[in-house]
Structure 1
Amino acid sequence: MNDALQGKLKKLHFSGIIKTADMRIEQAIREKLSYQEFLEILINDELLNRANKGNHRRLQKAKFPQHKTIEEFNFSYQPSINRQTIYQLSTCEFIRKKENIAFIGPPGTGKTHLAIAIGVKAVTQGYNVLFVTMNDMLEDLYMSRADNSFQQRLRKYAQPDLLIVDELGLRKLNQTSVDDFYEVIAKRYEQRSTIITSNKTFEEWGKILFDPVLATAILDRFVHHCNFIVINGDSYRMREREGFTAHTNKREKLGKLVTSENTADDTVDDDIGSID
């Protein structure tokens, strides 16, 4: 491809075609493609490139703390989770229906993993996603009142197609925090989808939300179109720690055994030496 043509493609922002043009020209000659077939291949390259760039951009904006997938999740360790339900949710049909998801269970049972994994699926389907912990979101909204940017920050949490709020229940909320949380939920109600993870049972949510009236208003809106996933299982992190501790103890015992055998050998050598 000559420089003049490449310059024109750059002006049109056809970076996908620029990347593959030389290869496609060789392919067209080799396979004797028609003009239409050649043009279709170039357009498909451009569309694929734009889709990949869009996914990368949306992944960055989502602010996921880690990249998790459904395929990585160990369903055998959490038998209380219905695998088919999770795969159904990962189709993101719930986002099209403006529904919510609540992952409820003890710490370390995979709630955040599943929330992120579904969020990643949503990104690949073209949805805008934002991940945030409950504490960080409420602190951000609280600080925004100082510089009169509250409405702008509120839009940040109200506009994404999917908002993932992690760790509801780690701290009790005060009146201002509950007010702000209500604003977020009210703005998103029947307009956008929200995923909340919590280590508290749903019956305990009202106690966390401080103000009984606002608690009722928040829960009523969130639960109206909600898929509840309750996880009754052990912590992955505790299991890994126990496995690490057991492995360490085993190595220590083996080390002591080897040391003891070496000491015994040295004693025998000393005895033999004394006989000589």
Structure 2
Amino acid sequence: MKEILRKLTNFKLSGMAKTLASRNQYAIENSLSYLDFLELLLDDESVNRQNNSLKKRFSKSKLDSSKTLSMYDFTYQPELNKQEILDISSCRFIGEKKNIIFMGNPGVGKTHLANAIGLEALKKGYKVLFIHANDMVSKLVSSKGDGSYFSVLKQFLSVDLLIIDEVGFKKIPLNHVDEFFEIIRHRYENNSIIITTNRSFEEWGNIFGDVVLASAIIDRLVHHAHIFRINGESYRIKSLQSMKNTKK
């Protein structure tokens, strides 16, 4: 047994190594054939690799594990089509190279929904990255100074789903707008993007300080996109009111 475990470890079959003893006992007690025994071990290895892959992808994604679809209160946003959101969570849009845009005032749950869909994408084996719009631009600009630009650019382009949060929360400096455009341009019709924004498209010219470039960004984002406009009230206000009512 020890020699088999050593060989499994050397061959990097940790899933099989973990369950070898218990599977061997099970096989003996149930008179399993060699092939059936081997199939059980291979299933264990497959599950172990899937779990390890999910953990690694989740760690790199920067997603919040607590912001799931089950934790989103659709009753507080009655105008939002729950069935349509659930359909989006199947993540077919990623295979179709389509985008998702969540628009609405601060606090209505845009980031929560984007994060929740990102978590669903991870479960389906996709690589996901969640980042604030201004942080993304800052990383790209800074990377030009230390020679890591192409490495950072690859980070934003190689994932199956890039979630850019809070576009419009702060203006993007005019001399940095090209960096944002490059991400959109390279991912256009190649990989999916989810955008959350508290500004209408008409205001994007002010966000980027360049109406023409803003128009080019919007054009590429909406060409193949599902757009959700959330008009409800802020969840933060709801939480504040609940706290006040609790204290009474």
Q: Does the alignment reach a TM-score above 0.5?
A: yes
Distance in 2 of aligned mates of 1:127 and 1:181: 23
Task: Tell me by how many angstroms 1:99 deviates.
Answer: 0.4
Tell which deviates more after alignment, 11-20 or 29-38. 29-38
Match of 2:62 in 1: 63
| Higher alpha-carbon Rg | 1
Runs of at least 5 residues in structure 1 that lack an aligned partner in the other structure: 251-276
Instruction: Please tell me the residue identity of whatever aligns with 1:12.
Output: F
Measured after TM superposition, the shift of residue 109 of structure 1 is 1.1
> Is residue 36 of structure 1 aligned with residue 35 of structure 2?
yes
Q: Normalising to structure 1: TM-score of the pair?
A: 0.87
Amino acid aligned to 1:189:
Y
- Please give the alpha-carbon distance, in whole angstroms, between the structure 1 residues aligned to 2:172 and 2:60: 27
- Does the alignment pair 1:8 with 2:38? no
Is the 8 Å Cα contact of residues 162 and 192 (structure 2) preserved in structure 1?
Answer: yes
SS at match of 1:121: helix
2:220 matched to 1:221? yes
1:95-129 deviations in Å (ceiling 9; x for gaps): 00000000111111111111111111111111111
Letter in 1 for 2:27: A
Residues matched between the structures, number: 248
What are the superposed Cα offsets for residues 127-178 of structure 1, whole Å, 9 maximum, x if unpaired? 1111100111111112122223322222211111100000111111222221
The corresponding residue for 1:256 is none
The residue number in structure 2 matching 1:78 is: 77
Q: Deviations over 1:163-220 (max 9, x none)?
A: 0000111111222221110001001011110001011123322331211221111111
CA contact (8 A) 2:102 2:195 kept: yes
Q: Distance in 1 between matches of 2:77 and 2:8?
A: 52
Match of 1:232 in 2: 231
CA apart distance, 1:65: 4.1
Q: Given the alignment of the two structures, is residue 180 of structure 1 paired with residue 179 of structure 2, yes or no?
A: yes
User: Which residue of structure 1 aligns with residue 140 of structure 2?
Assistant: 141
Corresponding residue for 1:106?
Answer: 105
Separation in 2, partners of 1:176, 1:152: 21
Amino acid at match of 1:78: Q
CA distance in 2, matches of 1:106, 1:167: 11
* CA deviation map 1:246-272 (0-9, x unaligned): 322x1xxxxxxxxxxxxxxxxxxxxxx
1:11 maps to a residue whose letter is N
Q: How does 1:185-264 map to 2 (within 5 A)?
A: 185-248=184-247, 250=248
Q: Counterpart of 1:213 in structure 2: which amino acid?
A: V
**Structure 2 CA distance for aligned equivalents of residues 13 and 26 of structure 1:** 22
CA distance in 2, matches of 1:193, 1:246: 42
What is the identity, as a one-letter code, of the residue corresponding to 1:144? S
Say whether the 8 Å CA contact 1:67–1:116 is kept in structure 2. no
Q: Residues of 2 paired with 1:33 and 1:51: CA distance?
A: 26
After superposition, residues 101-180 of structure 1 pair within 5 angstroms as: 101-180=100-179
**Residue 180 of structure 1 aligns to a residue in which SS?**
helix
